[in-house]
Amino acid sequence: MRRSFPKTAGNQIIPPPQSENFQSRLTNVLQKLGIIGELGSKDIITLITWLHDRSETLEQQTLGRLLSQFSENPKSVEQRIRRAASTGLVNLAHLGLEDYSNDVFTEFSNTLYNFEQVRREMDYIRRKSDKHGNVKIRSFLNALLSYCENV
């Protein structure tokens, strides 16, 4: 979908607001991870954009307290986010198995996720291990916020 930007009297294009640019970068990252269609991706976008707009990080308050501002049931929001982040980990591990030098894999396997956990998931997929990789939600969300702010 193409967006039209408002123009001034001199027909100069006014750039979109910063949060709109930030949100498109965030959506792009979630697409690369293959989780944009997950229910939790909407929650991730809402939360990360909210933090960005207020120049906050997750260190400043608990995840439960923060999510309670968006929903009456913050635990279910947290679970949706956890599932989406875990799906992203699995997708990333599959990319790494197919092509270890894949741009998406090399870019995100050590920034958004803990590389040891990505390797653990890869071992699980290859049936070399009986344990899945795990995702620390707070670290994932902070890394996602930082990555999207600095791209």
- What pLDDT shows up at residue 148? 96
Taking only the tens place, the pLDDT of each residue in 74-123 is 999 999 999 999 999 999 999 999 999 999 999 999 999 999 999 999 99
| Residue closest to 43 by CA, chosen among 151, 134, 141 | 141
Residue that wins the pLDDT comparison between 93 and 56? 93
Instruction: Tell me: pLDDT of 126 over 80.
Output: yes
Assessment of whether the complete model's pTM goes beyond 0.75:
yes
- What pLDDT shows up at residue 10? 52
Query: What distance in Å separates the CA atoms of residue 134 and residue 89, rounded to the nearest whole number?
Result: 8
Q: Pinpoint the alpha helices (H) of 54-136.
A: 63-67, 74-98, 103-108, 115-125
- % pLDDT > 90, the chain: 81
Bridge partners of 7, per DSSP, are: 13
> Is residue 73 within 8 Å of 82, Cβ to Cβ?
no
> Is residue 5 within 8 Å of 15, Cβ to Cβ?
yes
Rounded to the nearest integer, the mean pLDDT of the chain is: 89
- What pLDDT shows up at residue 151? 84
What would the two tokens of residue 13 be?
């294009």
Chain center to CA of 104:
13
Burial pattern 36-72, b for ≥16 Cβ within 10 A else e, equals bebebbebbbebbbebbeeeeebeeeebeebbeeeee
Instruction: Tell me: pLDDT of 127 over 70.
Output: yes
- What pLDDT shows up at residue 60? 80
